[in-house]
Amino acid sequence: MLKRILVLVAAGLLAGAVARAADAPAAAPKNDYVGANKCKMCHMKEAKAWAETKHAHALVNLAATTPEKLKAMNELLKTDVKDHPETNEACVKCHVTGYKLAGGYPGADSLKTAVVAFVGCEACHGPGSAHMAIPMSDKEGRRKTMPLPTVEACQKCHTEAISPKFDFADRSQKVHPIAAAVPAK
């Protein structure tokens, strides 16, 4: 009899938990980095313009830093990077997408790392998987899941020391051939 009561209590608890779970609000979908090639499928014009920018080659260019350029950057930034800036956290974080963020650089495997090993779309717009999960027919939903870049986001890397003449309006037009960014507030 005791065994039967315990089974009924356990079943009741389980039914209550299932009912509460059904009433709970759905968790927000995980928003992961997908890489610029996924963006390019729908945003070819922007992708072509971006491919011609320094952002598209940021990590490769960092790896090709000459000793003279490294010395100049150390003096400018008051750092002491000895060699291989492409392996230095202080340097890499501004030359890749989503540095040390879930799904960002470095990735879980070499393929995942390769799709974020530059300053891609998601470095400015944020992770794209939630955007891609919205049906193409839902233009408003897709727009809501893809924030526009801001001057504040750019200035995390384009600091006064690195880019003393940084002009957000001018630079954003060079990255995008269309208006795709919002001015500072």
- Per-residue pLDDT for 11 more than 70? no
| pLDDT, tens digit, 9 for 90 and up, residues 108-138 | 888 889 999 999 999 999 999 999 999 999 9
Does domain 29-175 match CATH 1.10.1130.10? yes
What pLDDT score does 29 carry?
A: 58
Taking CA atoms, 171 is separated from 53, 158, 163, in Å, by 10, 11, 11
**Is the pTM here over 0.85, yes or no?**
no
Which residue would you say has higher pLDDT here, 159 or 20?
Answer: 159
d(CA 124, CA 141): 19
- Per-residue pLDDT for 60 more than 60? yes
What are the residue boundaries of the structural domains of the chain, listed by start? 29-175
| Contact predicate 90/81, CB 8 Å | yes
- Tell me 177's DSSP state: S
Cα radius of gyration (the chain):
23
